[in-house]
């Protein structure tokens, strides 16, 4: 009997190892991963650890699902370079003041979704550079400039990474300081004249500012919630009047594997409002339809800068109304000239 159990156990273990090997090989194929023999063992270990977390999460959590993506085999150190929000400790000093909540010219709709707006550029990829802040700076400028002129425009994140010495290039920064920089510089260049290169090299390059290739200018900007007190309604109102709004969030490890659903995690509701490490852009909001088992859940539609291969074609939904990951404390708006 004992012998039989041992055989069964052994068979199961061998079958699991085979499955692990198959899953790993399929993953490498699916995401075009090529590792040196030296790297292979570590990468496989990271991948399998992630796979266990994912299987458990997807069994237990009905709100949102995890899935493999290009980050599944990364180490914790490597994941840190995918972030890059560095808020100023006393942010009020840095930003121009303006009435935070615009007066509505029409009723607040049940939902807003700018993802498919003709003024929205394709989702970009910051790569191995902590430049999320630069991407979050640019999205509302592209959108608002296009909405004003009627012509789509792609603007240069690289210019900010290279030239804005008030921010930290690939070591982090913040969109309020970047808008201030653009205002002082007389505009931000078009990406066609200054394309993004730091994603693969992981560092800033020499500044190559050229005022003749400026594509948008900053008129004014401000915080939606100047005192950091979360205000979902003010964010919804600003979305309607001022377009997409960058915000800062705290990233937990599980978030890297977000695949679909409305992201929430009790560990991401924190007392310290300054606890953020990633800049993203709120581009809309909505509410899930209630079912017999699940209540309706309000959510934000949020744009990330990890390519369109991550999450929901580059976007994610985050629970709305509970200041999840501090997202409702850091929204800011910008107006173009």
Ligand X SMILES: *[C@@H]1O[C@H](CO)[C@@H](O)[C@H](O)[C@H]1NC(C)=O
What residues line the site for ligand X (CB under 6 A)? 147, 242-243
46-58 exposure pattern, b = at least 16 Cβ within 10 A, e = fewer: bbbebbeebeeeb
Closest CA to 65 of 249, 255, 250: 255
Q: Which of 46, 238, 277, 304 is catalytic?
A: 304
CB of 119 to ligand X, least distance (A): 8
Nearest CB to ligand X, comparing residues 84 and 284: 284
| Run of H or E including 56 | helix 37-60
> Can you tell me whether residue 274 is helix, strand or coil?
coil
Nearest CB to ligand X, comparing residues 81 and 144: 144
> Can you tell me whether residue 333 is helix, strand or coil?
strand
CB of 243 to ligand X, least distance (A): 4
Q: Has 304 been annotated as catalytic?
A: yes
Nearest CB to ligand X, comparing residues 135 and 143: 143
Rounded to whole angstroms, the maximal C-alpha distance in the chain is: 83
Nearest CB to ligand X, comparing residues 146 and 214: 146
Nearest CB to ligand X, comparing residues 147 and 171: 147
Nearest CB to ligand X, comparing residues 127 and 246: 246
Cα–Cα distance for residue pair 30/288, rounded to 1 Å: 31
CB of 305 to ligand X, least distance (A): 21
| Run of H or E including 14 | helix 2-30
Nearest CB to ligand X, comparing residues 125 and 142: 142
Q: Which of 278, 323, 325, 326 is catalytic?
A: 278
Tokens found for residue 37: 């023999």
CB of 175 to ligand X, least distance (A): 17
CB atoms within 10 A of CB 240: 16
Q: Residues 188, 116, 282, 158: what is their CA dihedral angle, to the nearest 10 degrees?
A: -30
CB of 109 to ligand X, least distance (A): 12
What is the DSSP code (8-state) at residue 76? Answer: H
Q: Which of 46, 68, 129, 132 is catalytic?
A: 132
CB 248 within 8 A of CB 85: yes
Tokens found for residue 20: 């692990």
DSSP for 211-247 reads GGGEEE-EEEEEESSTTS---HHHHHHHHHHH--EEE
| Exposed/middle/buried for residue 177 (C-beta within 10 Å: 0-12, 13-18, 19+) | buried
Catalytic residue numbers? Answer: 132, 278, 304
């Amino acid at each position: 009997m004992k012998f039989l159990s041992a055989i069964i156990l052994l068979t199961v273990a061998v079958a699991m190892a085979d499955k692990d090997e198959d899953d790993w090989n399929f993953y490498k194929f699916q995401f075009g991963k090529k590792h040196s023999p030296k790297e292979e063992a570590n990468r496989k270990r990271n991948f399998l650890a992630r796979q266990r977390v994912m299987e458990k999460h997807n069994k237990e959590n009905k709100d949102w699902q995890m899935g493999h993506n290009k980050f599944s085999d990364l180490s914790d150190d490597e994941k840190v370079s995918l972030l890059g929000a560095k808020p100023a400790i006393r942010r009020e000093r840095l930003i121009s003041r303006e009435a935070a909540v615009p007066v509505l010219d029409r009723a607040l709709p049940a939902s807003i979704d700018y993802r498919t707006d003709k003024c929205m550029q394709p989702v970009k990829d910051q790569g191995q550079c902590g430049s999320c802040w630069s991407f979050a700076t640019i999205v509302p400028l592209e959108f608002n400039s296009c909405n004003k002129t009627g012509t789509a425009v792609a603007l240069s994140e690289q210019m900010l990474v290279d030239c804005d010495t008030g921010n930290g290039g690939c070591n982090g920064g913040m969109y309020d300081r970047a808008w201030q920089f653009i205002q002082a510089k007389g505009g931000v260049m078009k990406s066609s004249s200054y394309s993004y290169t730091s994603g693969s090299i992981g560092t800033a390059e020499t500044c190559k500012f050229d005022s003749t290739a400026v594509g948008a200018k900053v008129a004014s900007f401000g915080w939606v919630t100047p005192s950091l007190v979360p205000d979902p309604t003010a964010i919804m109102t600003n979305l309607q009047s001022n377009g997409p709004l960058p915000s800062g969030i705290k990233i937990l490890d599980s978030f890297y594997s977000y695949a679909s659903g409305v992201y929430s995690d009790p560990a991401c509701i924190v007392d310290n409002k300054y606890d953020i490490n990633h800049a993203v852009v709120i581009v809309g909001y909505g509410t899930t339809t209630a079912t017999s088992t699940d209540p309706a859940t309000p959510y934000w539609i949020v744009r990330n800068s990890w390519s369109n291969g991550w999450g929901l074609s580059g976007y994610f939904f985050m629970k709305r109304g509970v200041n999840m990951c501090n997202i409702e404390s850091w929204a800011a708006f910008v107006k173009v000239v």
